[in-house]
Amino acid sequence: MIGFILVIVFLALVVLDVPIAFSMGLASLVTLYISHLPISQIPSRTVTGIDLFTYLAIPMFILAGALMDTGGIANRLVKLAKVLVGHFRGGLAMVVVVAEMFFSGISGSTVADVSAMSSMMLPSLKKSGYTGQYSISVICAASAMGMLIPPCILMVALAGIANESVGALFLGGLLPAVFLGLLIMLLIYFQALKYNFPAEPRPSFLEVVKSFIDSLIALAMPVIIFGGIMGGIATPTEIAAIAVVYAFIVGVFVYRELKIKDVWRIMIESAVSTASIMVLIGFANIFSYILALGKVPQLLTNFFLSISSSPFVFMVGVTITLIIAGSLLEGVPAALIFTPVFLPVVHRFGIDPLHFLIVMVAAIGVGLFIPPAGIGLVVGARLGNMSMEDIMKSFYPFLIILFVGIVILILVPQISVFIPNLLMPKH
């Protein structure tokens, strides 16, 4: 009964367009009041929910990403991507995918990825003969895949909830991201052959070397993050702080594109972004607690077991649920609500929690681009000055290939857990 009241009030508030964080908080308040449970649970469990050392990495990674984005890193990474794949048939569209693999690890935000890739690549794509609809479709598909590229803020939040290693989650996202990226590029290649997309001129060896050297400083960020975490030099939170210092030095003193006067604005914007995420995490903690009181995880376990005892069927059901939730609730809220609910079921089915969390991140990444409410697709359509209906005909093949990719990730857990098990066997 408690779980039913909580869910009904929450959905009613969401329909009334109340922000997700406050919908969770208000639904929890109403449920506790109606059920005659102590309302004092709200402040205590909300504070407890965000009182984790791991979560200090969130503002640090957000700030580091903003500093590096403003500091001119993105353009150099795009140039590197162009010399690597631009000369293939449909190469400029492939550049978006490769650049996203580089850039997403800096931005840490799907919406930021769509905005940045659109501003950097959309004019070039249109100039080369790609339609605006197809260009935005490629950018959206690449950004959906980019959710798996560390450092991902969603992974940091999930690590705290699921009591998993942030470093293991970061490593676990690498192979799935490359796998989905290759699937997208394969689709682009066959479309290029069918529609005779152009290819960029093949760069000389010296141009490749020059672009690589120009990008070395930007590419050093993943080395700092992974090297520090895997080498045991520092915790993820401490590495995030080092990343902030590194981004500041590179932007101000090396590339000289980051002005001191911009730093204060960037810090304020990062603080606002951090506050919104932490409020979500805090209210999600009390929300999940009430779901547990209402025995929702047990009911869900029994429901899935009544359908099938197959872990694959369960994972597909979870994936569909998370894709829909990601489109309606956005990424972090969907993960915060469903992770505590599904984790007991995951253990019951004997599924590796790390594998489950990686699939969850991938599903939510795709959900952000599901019409009509997916925030990533909405932003992409707005930046392309077109309606969502205009985009969908070009975007459907990319959605299908992303769905196929997630199903393969479910069937082959080693794609997700191979690198973490190899490099962090005790994670």
| 245-265: pLDDT as tens digits | 888 888 888 878 788 888 888
Average pLDDT of span 156-163 = 82
Token representation of residue 237: 């939170």
How confident is the model at residue 347, as a pLDDT? 84
How confident is the model at residue 402, as a pLDDT? 94
Does residue 65 have a pLDDT over 70?
yes
Highest mean pLDDT among 88-92, 116-120, 416-420: 416-420
Does residue 230 have a pLDDT over 90?
no
* CB contact at 8 A, 156 and 61: yes
Token representation of residue 169: 């989650």
Token representation of residue 114: 């769509």
Q: Which residue has the higher pLDDT, 184 or 86?
A: 184
Does residue 129 have a pLDDT over 80?
no
How confident is the model at residue 307, as a pLDDT? 80
CA–CA separation, 61 and 73 (whole Å):
15
Highest mean pLDDT among 74-78, 182-186, 242-246, 307-311: 182-186
Does residue 360 have a pLDDT over 80?
yes
Does residue 194 have a pLDDT over 80?
yes
How confident is the model at residue 406, as a pLDDT? 95
How confident is the model at residue 117, as a pLDDT? 74
| Residues with Cβ within 8 Å of residue 170, at least 6 apart in sequence | 150, 151, 152, 155, 225, 226, 229, 236
Does residue 124 have a pLDDT over 80?
no
Going from the C-alpha of 369 to that of each of 113, 152, 284, 408, the distances in angstroms are 13, 17, 23, 20
Burial (CB count <10 Å: 0-12, 13-18, 19+), residue 38: exposed
Give me the helix-helix angle, 311-329 and 331-349, nearest 10°: 170
How confident is the model at residue 385, as a pLDDT? 78
Handedness of CA 362, 367, 370, 375 (dihedral sign): negative
Token representation of residue 67: 């500093």
| 369-400: pLDDT as tens digits | 887 667 777 777 777 777 777 788 888 899 99
How confident is the model at residue 87, as a pLDDT? 72
Token representation of residue 60: 């640090």
pLDDT above 70 coverage of the chain, percent: 92
Q: Which residue has the higher pLDDT, 175 or 334?
A: 175
How confident is the model at residue 426, as a pLDDT? 65
Q: Which residue has the higher pLDDT, 118 or 343?
A: 343
Q: What are the boundaries of each domain within the chain? A: 1-39, 40-423
* CB contact at 8 A, 69 and 106: yes
Token representation of residue 281: 């995490």
CA–CA separation, 24 and 280 (whole Å):
8
| 92-120: pLDDT as tens digits | 888 888 888 876 655 556 666 777 777 77
Does residue 421 have a pLDDT over 70?
yes
Q: Which residue has the higher pLDDT, 240 or 189?
A: 189
* CB contact at 8 A, 324 and 334: no
| 8-35: pLDDT as tens digits | 888 888 788 788 778 888 998 999 888 8
| 401-414: pLDDT as tens digits | 999 999 999 999 99
Neighbours of 334 (CB within 10 A): 25
| 266-279: pLDDT as tens digits | 888 888 878 877 88
Question: How confident is residue 180, by pLDDT bands cut at 50, 70 and 90?
Answer: very high
How confident is the model at residue 50, as a pLDDT? 79
| pTM of the model as a whole | 0.80
- Mean pLDDT computed over every residue of the chain: 81
